[in-house]
Amino acid sequence: MDIKEFDWKDVSQDITDAFFEQLKDNVSEYLEEAIIPELEKQKEAFVQELKQEAAD
């Protein structure tokens, strides 16, 4: 195959697609392992604070 015939647009699109797929996977994993548990902790603290204020 002559290098002039090589479809660089397809190659660059494949690389871009792979990059964004990996990025999506990494972000999803980070959300599941770090962000969501922290938000759950904050939510629970907020609920407890509301319950305490309601009891006072």
Q: What is the pLDDT of residue 10?
A: 85
- Confidence label for 51 from pLDDT (cuts 50, 70 and 90): very high
Q: Report how far apart, in Å, the C-alpha atoms of 42 and of each of 13, 17, 19, 49 are.
A: 41, 35, 33, 10
Q: What is the pLDDT of residue 54?
A: 92
Buried b (16+ CB within 10 A) or exposed e, 15-41: eeeeeeeeeeeeeeeeeeeeeeeeeee
On the question of pLDDT at 2 being above 70, the answer is: no
**Distance from C-alpha of 26 to C-alpha of 30, rounded to nearest angstrom:** 6
Q: What is the pLDDT of residue 1?
A: 53
Q: What is the pLDDT of residues 4-49, one digit of tens each?
A: 677 778 888 999 999 999 999 999 999 999 999 999 999 999 999 9
- Global confidence as pTM: 0.58
Residue 2 zone, left/alpha/beta (φ > 0; ψ -120 to 50; rest): beta
